[in-house]
Structure 1
Amino acid sequence: MMHLLRNARGMRVAIDTHDASVRAWWAPDRYGRLADVLGAAPPAARSSTGWQCASPDDGHLQLQLAQDGLSVRLSYRFDDDGSLHLDCVATSDTVSRFALAAPRFNLQGNHASVGDHVLRLAADRYWPGGGTGGSPHDVAGSAFDFRQPAPLASRLAWPALAHLPGFRHDFYWTGSGQLREAARVADPASGRVLRFSSTQDSCHLYSDARCFSLLAQDVQLQPGQARCFNLAYRLGVQDIDAFDISEPVSMMSNK
């Protein structure tokens, strides 16, 4: 079942109440034209199906999950400034792992490439995709340093990443507990800008030719433990000249 959240700016977000995923998000471009800015539906996260919906209204949605000793309360709130807030509290009677499916964005609102989407990510360390053991690497001097904004395609063209279809990497920054902006993605063609905020100290960056996502890390629980985290995705518009881009943007809508 889908539930629509609306705000005063005419934006709408569709939430799948079965798996708690965000399925569609209609947002205006710099000319006020609405489009769905989500790409392919995200895969269902582990331990994330079978949610129960409680007391929905136009701006809020409460979901609950009880499964195999795991109890999760998830609240969606859609604000008039274009922010979709996710507040999550999880407890468990057993060793458990919990994750949410991240919305996959294409800020052009169509099937164009996201290669020209410009990412700024306040992370000073990263973990190679599929890596196990060891410690995160310093981003300095690498294709993974997005502390200054850069287009996704320009970084994937670096020799170290040229064989990859996109990013599948974990990024880390200093500090957690406070909701803070960790990443910003701008699309020069539409003027849409996505801001990602989190109380965690890391996120997973996924991208392919047609979409990207910024995902909170899995939450691991020990028996009797309670964990909470907060996320926010905020969509707006911005003049690309106001976004300090460190590498060229082609401004092509399709590749």
Structure 2
Amino acid sequence: MMHLLRNARGMRVAIGAHDASVRAWWAPDRYGRLADVLGAAPPAAHAPVDWQCDPPDGGHLLLRLARDGLSVRLAYRLDDDGSLHLDCAAIADGVSRFALAAPLFNLQGRNAAVGDHVLRLAADHYGPWPGGGTGGAPLDVAGSAFDFRQPAPLASRLAWPALAHLPGFRHDFYWAGSGQLREAARVADPASGRVLRFSSTQDGCHLYSDARCFSLLAQDVQLQPGQAMRFTLAYRLGVQDIDAFDISEPISMTPNK
């Protein structure tokens, strides 16, 4: 079952009630043309299912989960400025771990390549590829292909020798500070003019990408007995001229293979 949220700008966001995932998001490009900017999202490793959903109220949707001593309350809100807020509160009776299913974006629309998408990510450390054999300690992004503090296209960074053997990004990124909702990343598509802004109260995120999509995921939640946790994420879709980005590397308009 799907629930549809709408705002005054004509945006529509479809939420899957079974796993609380964002299944579709229709958003305008620079010419006002609507397109679904989400692809099919694989389930997160620890994403729970069988959520209970209250009837949607305009741009609001409330979901609840209770299982194995874990209680989660997840509220979606679609604002008229193009922001989709996710407010999550969880408490556990025992040791628990879960993750939210992350939306996979393609700002140009489904079946296009995302190599020309330009990423700016305010992270000064990153975690190596899982199983990469380099240890688990976060590494400094300075001087590496993982330094997105100045905007750069995804494909240009994946062409660096250190990443040329990888199909995309599967890395954790970290920044200083948490608790306040702050913009951590911005992704722009030069073809459509769409821009995605990602904000979080956490101090890190996971970047996933392949040839056709990308995602910015919340960190997994790990709870000890009696521990409560709250966090907020926001994805904001809008339109911006690509010239407004101070891009550090050239954009190739050749589609990824």
Q: Which TM-score tier does this pair reach, normalised by the shorter chain?
A: over 0.9
Question: CA offset at residue 134 of structure 1?
Answer: 4.1
TM-score, scaled to structure 2: 0.96
Structure 1 residues 39-188: aligned runs within 5 Å:
39-131=39-131, 133-188=135-190
Structure 1 gaps of 5+ residues are none
Question: CA offset at residue 253 of structure 1?
Answer: 5.3
Moved over 6 A (4+): none
- Which residue does the alignment assign to 2:230? 228
Asked whether the 8 Å contact 1:78–1:84 carries over to 2, the reply is yes
- Taking a change above 3 Å as real, the CA distance of residues 2 and 30 of structure 1, as seen in their structure-2 partners, is same
Pair 1:38-2:35 in alignment: no
Pair 1:190-2:192 in alignment: yes
Pair 1:4-2:4 in alignment: yes
Number of corresponding residues: 255
- Taking a change above 3 Å as real, the CA distance of residues 108 and 161 of structure 1, as seen in their structure-2 partners, is same
Pair 1:22-2:18 in alignment: no
Q: Which amino acid aligns with 1:62?
A: L
Question: CA offset at residue 54 of structure 1?
Answer: 1.4
Structure 2 gaps of 5+ residues are none
Q: Which amino acid aligns with 1:96?
A: S
Alpha-carbon RMSD across the aligned residues, in angstroms, is: 1.2
Could you say what secondary structure the match of 1:205 adopts?
A: strand
Asked whether the 8 Å contact 2:44–2:99 carries over to 1, the reply is no
Could you say what secondary structure the match of 2:231 adopts?
A: strand
Question: CA offset at residue 244 of structure 1?
Answer: 1.1
- Taking a change above 3 Å as real, the CA distance of residues 76 and 45 of structure 1, as seen in their structure-2 partners, is farther
